[in-house]
Amino acid sequence: MEIEVKVPIVSQEDKKGVVNQWYKKDGDVVEEGEEIAEVMIEKVTVIVKAPASGKLKILVPENGEVSQGDVIAVVETA
């Protein structure tokens, strides 16, 4: 099963941002709650955590543009 990793919603306005950094690589195994990425939205740095344990599949690369609520990766669980 695939669990979506989404950009957190930090404002009621539709603000754009970028994926600053991935702490893990595509294909890495992650644990639920582990910090996996850093996203910058309107000068606010947001840490994205893994929603489940499993294999990470990155959909948006570093420096990729995102909006709040966008799916940036999935975690493939057993």
Question: CATH number of the domain at 2-76, please?
Answer: 2.40.50.100
pTM over 0.85: yes
Q: What is the pLDDT of residues 3-47, one digit of tens each?
A: 999 999 888 887 899 999 999 999 999 999 999 999 999 888 999
pLDDT band per the 50, 70, 90 thresholds, residue 78: confident
Contact 30, 53 (CB under 8 A): yes
Q: What are the residues whose beta carbons fall under 8 Å from the beta carbon of 34, sequence distance 6 or more?
A: 24, 49, 50
Q: Categorise residue 59: left if φ over 0, alpha if ψ from -120 to 50, beta otherwise.
A: alpha
Distance CA(45)–CA(8), nearest Å, equals 11
CA–CA gap between residue 37 and residue 58 (Å, rounded): 10
